[in-house]
Structures are given as structure tokens and as C-alpha cells.
């Protein structure tokens, strides 16, 4: 289809402009003492449940959360009920967050203190991997229930992750999850990202992730 | 960002052209006696495992499967090993299948007999909802492990589904899945799509889905 060429050209311009805005935002956040984490993962992988554990365990450090969803504010409400400073962005059909959305959101949402900013992207293993949103690093949350073949099928998002979390390890006894196959797939595209095995339900495994976050933020 | 306007214009052209090609393909498939099903769902929701059950239970009717993945041919290999006529489309970064991809694929893949054609789209609850690919209907596969809030967060794909499958019911005892909340969300956007509760692992619940497929194909 001839239109495809126009689409590719327009998308290249958009990636370039987005990248420029993301770098500007990142510089601004750094100057404010905000360490921004782009939290990625499939729908239902447990991103919000993990953030409930992470923000609690980082205390007394300040954490803010921005929730990116196509529609609804279910997760923001869950976090706020637990005492987390959480804000909502709705993309109304958009399959990922981008830098302009983040800049607009941060004009409205106040981050008065230095600390962590977790940005939960739209649940999607494809498009969010392609857009920088001002983050210092990308955290990819996977879960045992999604199966062990994900690094082979969605390599870009695994490649770009600074760390990978394998959530829902409490369900492992009931599944046929092949951990060796998962790790081999991850290492095929990303040699260095640490892998943290956790259960957001029981809290198991989060200590190591928290230690890693603190070292990264410095 | 000013570029956003160009993107929207180009996307509208692409949707229109895609829709036209999809309708042409659908007419051609109908004439061949092929009933095409666009199989949608999150990464790891169990689309391929469900198709293993469905194609087996539809026998002696002929079923073809086209697997849409960004990369890898793991699922095609699994299906072929089980004796299913399966073909692979790789999108190499693309977040969904579209009608031009399907047309190109069907120039290569022979569907010599009338029957069912299941097209497993890229695992993604967002973008595949927006592109017709020549199908007669959309089948959305969800799973208990993804949580019960998905219809609220990804309403378009639930709205467009002709039927919804809730997979992995064998894991229900180990989860906090709120079925009433899930069904309320589904009915909020889609009053008529039947809901089939199944386990691709045990085979439970597929009888009703198979009966429904046969009636739809006619």
C-alpha cells in the first residue's frame, strides 16, 4: 500500500521529536532530584501490585507514581488508597505513553520533593518499547503466568530493559513455566539486565530489587 | 507536537485503505468457503493452547492457522507438531497484523479446502483492535491470571469481540479473580458477545465454544 511510505516518514519524524523532548524532560527531572522509572509489561502482569510493594519498601524515600492507561483510573485509585502519591494519564486509545504526554502531565502534577517517579506505561509489550518518556531507566515486569517464550516473541522490550522482574513466582508450582528457556531468551537479547524473581502477593524477592534501585539512583 | 496532526491524517488514510482491502479479502475467503477468525489477546493469555484444543475439536472439519508474531515461529512449530496446518507471519516490530500483510501471506500459503482459518494476531490488547484483516469475526481470549479489570482498561477490543473466552479457569482457586467485576466490565461495552470459560490445559469448557463456532460458520 503506497500510504505505508508516508506513515514510515511521519513516524521517523515523531520518534526524533519525541526523543528530543524526552531528553529535555530527563534533564529537568534530574535537576529536581527525581529518578524516573518507565515501568513496562503486558496487561495483567502485576505492574501496579509490584509498585505497591516497591513504593512501600523504598520508604522513607519519596515515591510518586503516574499511571498510564487507555481508559479508567482503577490503578491510581488502588495506589492512592494505599497512601501512594499517584496520578492518572489516560491515552484514550493510544497504545503507549510518549514524551509530550509526560510533559503535559507534569505541568499539572506536582512533584515537590526529590525521590522516585514510577511511570506505569500502558500494558503492552510492543509499542511502549519504542518511545522514551524522560525516564532514567526502563523496568520490565513479566510474570510466570505469561509463559517462558516472551523474550523470543517481543525481543525489543527485553533488549531495552535495565532490569527484568519475573512476578507471580508464588504460582510457579501450578504452571509449566520453563525458567531456563526464559533466561536463555532474555540473555539472547540482553546480557546485563539483572533478573529479580518476586511475588507481589507475598512480597518475596523485592529486597534485592530495592537494593538495586537505591544503587541506581545513587 | 505539530507532527501529531500529520500522524492522525496519515493514520486515517491507512485505516480507510486497510478497511477496503480487508473487505475484499473477506469476500474472497467467503467464496472459497473459508471462515476466518481473528484471534486476539494479551501476550501469554493462551491463544495458541486454545487453538490446539479448538482445531482438534473441530475435526473432521479442516482448520488452518496463521500465527502473527513480531519475531520467532515457536507457536507455528507447536501447532505443526500437533498436526495442525499452520503458517507464520512475522511483523518484525509491527504491533498488529493488517489486511495487506494477510493478502501477501495468502499469496504464499495455500488453503486448498473449505474450512476454518484462525489468525492469531500479535499479543496485544490495543492496536490489533483497530485493524480489520479480512476476518468474519473477532475472538478475544482473556485469562484469569490477567486480572478482572481488563474490560475497563482496554474497552475497544472487548467492544469489538464477537465472543470472549476466559482461559486458565483451572488456576482460579489460586487467584483473586473477581468474575462479577469482569463480567460487569464486559457487559458495559458489549451486551451480546457470549462468554466461554475454558481451560486450555484440561480441555474444560470448549464444547460450548465449538458449538458456537459451528453455528456461526453455518
Give the global pTM. Answer: 0.94
pLDDT tens, position by position, B146-181? 999 999 999 999 999 999 999 999 999 999 999 999
A184 φ/ψ angles, rounded to the nearest 5 degrees: -60, -40
- Residue A199 pLDDT: 98
Count CB atoms within 10 A of the CB of residue B30: 13
**pLDDT grade, residue A4 (50/70/90)?**
low
Pick the residue of B126, B144, B172 with the most A CBs within 10 A to test the interface with A by mutation: B126
Confidence (pLDDT) at B2: 43
A170 exposure class (CB count in 10 Å sphere: 0-12, 13-18, 19+): middle
Cβ neighbours of residue A67 closer than 8 Å, sequence gap 6 or more: A48, A73, A75, A76, A79, A86, A87, A88, A89, A120
Q: Give the residue-averaged pLDDT of A161-179.
A: 97
Judged against a pLDDT cut of 80, whether residue A166 lies above it is answered with yes
Mean pLDDT of B92-103: 95
CB contact under 8 A, A1 and B14: yes
Strand pairing class (B163-167; A85-90) = unpaired
Confidence (pLDDT) at B37? 98
Closest CA relative to residue A163, chosen from A47, A39, A42: A39
Q: How many CA atoms lie within 13 A of B93 on its CB side?
A: 4
Strands A34-40 and A85-90 come out as: unpaired
- Pair type for strands B63-69 and B115-120: parallel
pLDDT band at A5 (very low <50, low <70, confident <90, very high): low
A73-102 residues touching B, CB cutoff 8 A: 74, 93, 95, 100
Q: Which residue has the cell 500510504?
A: A3
All three cell numbers of B153: 482498561
Comparing alpha-carbon positions, the chain B residue that sits nearest to A100 is B1
DSSP states along B111-137: --SSEEEEEE--S-SSGGGG---S-SE
Look at residues A71, A157, A67, A83 and name the one whose alpha carbon lies nearest to residue A121.
A67
Burial of A218 from C-beta contacts in 10 A (0-12 / 13-18 / 19+): exposed
Which residues in chain B have their CB less than 8 angstroms from residue A121's CB?
none
C-alpha–C-alpha distance, residues B94 and B79, integer Å: 23
User: By C-alpha distance, which of A119, A204, A215, A115 is closest to A165?
Assistant: A204
Name the DSSP class of B17: H
Instruction: Quickly state the pLDDT bin for B6 (edges 50, 70, 90).
Output: low
What's the gap between Cα A52 and its chain centre?
14
How many helices (H) and strands (E) in chain A? Answer: 8, 7
pLDDT per position as a tens digit, A17-76: 999 999 999 999 999 999 999 999 999 999 999 999 999 999 999 999 999 999 999 999
Q: Which residues of B151-173 are buried (b: 16+ CB within 10 A; e: fewer)?
A: bbbbbbbbebbbbbbbbbbbbee
Task: Choose the weakest-confidence range: A88-102, A144-158, A193-207, B9-23.
Answer: B9-23
> Given CA atoms A79, A81, A83, A86 in this order, what sign does their dihedral have?
positive
Choose the mutation target among A145, A156, A159 for the interface with B, i.e. most B CBs under 10 Å: A145
Residues of chain B contacting A74 with CB distance shorter than 8 Å: 149, 152-153
A63 φ/ψ angles, rounded to the nearest 5 degrees: -125, 135
8 A C-beta contact, residue B132 and residue B22: yes
**Distance of CA A138 to CAs A7, A103, A105, A164, B135, Å?**
27, 18, 19, 9, 36
Q: CA-CA distance, A193 to A122, in Å (whole number)?
A: 22
As a whole number, the mean pLDDT across chain B is 95
DSSP 8-state symbol, A117: E
The three cell numbers of residue B161 are 469481540
**C-alpha grid cell, residue B31:** 467464496
Task: Give the C-alpha separation, A108 to B199, whole Å.
Answer: 45
Q: Distance (Å) from the C-alpha of residue A217 to the closest C-alpha of chain B?
A: 30
Q: Does the beta carbon of A124 lie under 8 angstroms from any beta carbon of chain B?
A: yes
- pLDDT at residue A13 tops 60: yes
In this prediction, residue B211 carries a pLDDT of: 98
Helices (H), chain B: 3-31, 47-57, 74-81, 99-108, 150-153, 155-160, 179-189, 206-217
Q: Is B2 helix (H, G, I), strand (E, B) or coil?
A: coil
**Residue for grid cell 465449538:** B210
- Interface contact flag, B14 A3, Cβ < 8 Å: yes
> Does the CB of B147 have a partner CB in chain A at under 8 Å?
yes
In this predicted structure, the answer to whether residue B1 has a pLDDT above a threshold of 90 is no
Inter-residue contact B145 to B172 (CB < 8 Å): no
pLDDT for B9 equals 75
Amino acid at each position: 500500500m503506497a500510504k505505508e511510505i508516508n506513515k514510515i516518514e511521519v513516524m521517523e519524524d515523531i520518534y526524533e521529536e519525541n526523543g528530543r523532548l524526552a531528553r529535555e524532560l530527563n534533564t529537568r527531572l534530574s535537576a529536581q532530584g527525581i529518578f524516573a522509572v518507565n515501568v513496562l509489561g503486558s496487561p495483567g502482569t502485576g505492574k501496579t501490585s509490584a509498585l505497591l510493594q516497591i513504593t512501600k519498601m523504598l520508604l522513607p524515600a519519596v515515591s510518586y507514581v503516574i499511571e498510564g492507561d487507555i481508559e479508567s483510573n482503577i490503578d491510581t485509585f488502588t495506589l492512592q488508597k494505599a497512601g501512594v502519591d499517584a496520578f492518572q494519564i489516560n491515552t484514550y486509545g493510544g497504545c503507549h505513553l510518549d514524551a509530550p504526554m509526560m510533559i503535559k502531565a507534569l505541568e499539572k502534577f506536582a512533584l515537590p520533593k526529590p525521590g522516585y517517579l514510577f511511570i506505569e506505561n500502558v500494558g503492552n509489550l510492543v509499542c511502549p518499547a519504542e518511545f522514551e518518556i524522560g525516564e532514567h531507566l526502563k523496568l520490565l515486569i513479566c510474570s510466570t503466568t505469561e509463559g517462558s517464550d516472551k523474550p523470543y516473541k517481543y525481543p525489543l522490550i527485553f533488549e531495552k530493559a535495565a532490569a527484568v522482574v519475573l512476578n507471580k513466582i508464588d504460582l510457579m508450582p501450578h504452571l509449566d513455566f520453563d525458567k531456563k528457556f526464559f533466561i536463555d531468551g532474555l540473555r539472547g537479547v540482553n546480557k546485563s539486565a539483572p533478573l529479580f524473581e518476586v511475588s507481589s502477593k507475598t512480597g518475596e524477592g523485592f529486597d534485592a530489587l530495592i537494593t538495586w534501585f537505591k544503587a541506581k539512583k545513587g
